[in-house]
C-alpha cells in the first residue's frame, strides 16, 4: 500500500494498531533519507468482529522516504531486542507538502519523522500465523 496523504496514514494506523516490533528492526538511513521498520501486526481486518480465536498475525514492513530527521521519546535505542507496541500513527502537515509523521508507542514512547513529503509504503511480507490472543485495551 502506498502512503501519500493523511488518509493513507489513518489506514496504516488502523492496520498497525497493536503491532509489535523490536527496536533493532527499525532504523533511519540518512543517506537514503528513509526510515524503515518491520513488525508483527495483528490482522485486524480478519479479527475485529471475532470474540474468540484463532486470530492471525503477519510480519509487515513499512518505510517512509524523504525523511529529513528522526527524533524519539522514551525509547532505549541501545537495547535492540527491546519490544515496543505501536498504538497509532498520524500526520501533522507543515508547509509545502512536508510535515511530521508521529508514531505513538505504548508506555509513552514515540517516534517523530520530519518529512519533506509524505511518501512511503507498507506491505505484508510473510504468511499469516495463528494466535489465540487478541489485543485488548480500554
Residue 138 lies in a domain: no
Residue 8 lies in a domain: yes
Query: Which pTM does this prediction carry?
Result: 0.92
Residue 136 lies in a domain: no
Residue 49: predicted pLDDT: 65
Residue 138: predicted pLDDT: 61
Q: How many domains would you assign to the chain? A: 1
Residue 132: predicted pLDDT: 85
Domain carrying residue 22? 2-131
Residue 10: predicted pLDDT: 95
Residue 33 lies in a domain: yes
Residue 137 lies in a domain: no
Residue 96: predicted pLDDT: 86
Residue 136: predicted pLDDT: 77
3-state secondary structure the chain: CEECCHHHHHHHHHHHCCCEEEHHHEEEECCCCEEEEEEEEECHHHHCCCCCCCEEEEEEEEEEECEEEEEEECCCCCCCCCEEEEEEEEEEECCCCCEEEEEEEHHHCEEEEEECCCCEEEEECCCCEEECCCCCCC
Residue 85 lies in a domain: yes
- Spans of the chain, pLDDT less than 50: none
Amino acid at each position: 500500500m502506498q502512503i501519500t496523504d493523511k488518509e493513507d496514514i489513518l489506514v496504516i494506523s488502523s492496520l498497525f494498531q497493536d503491532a509489535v516490533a523490536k527496536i533493532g528492526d527499525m532504523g533511519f538511513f540518512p543517506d537514503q533519507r528513509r526510515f524503515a521498520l518491520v513488525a508483527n501486526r495483528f490482522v485486524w481486518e480478519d479479527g475485529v468482529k471475532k470474540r474468540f480465536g484463532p486470530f492471525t498475525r503477519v510480519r509487515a514492513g513499512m518505510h517512509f522516504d524523504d525523511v529529513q530527521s528522526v527524533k524519539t521519546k522514551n525509547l532505549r535505542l541501545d537495547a535492540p531486542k527491546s519490544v515496543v507496541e505501536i498504538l497509532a500513527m498520524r500526520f501533522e502537515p507543515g508547509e509545502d507538502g512536508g510535515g511530521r509523521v508521529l508514531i505513538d508507542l505504548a508506555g509513552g514512547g514515540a517516534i517523530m519523522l520530519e518529512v519533506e513529503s509524505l511518501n512511503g509504503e507498507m506491505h505484508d511480507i510473510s504468511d499469516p500465523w495463528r494466535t489465540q490472543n487478541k489485543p485488548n485495551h480500554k
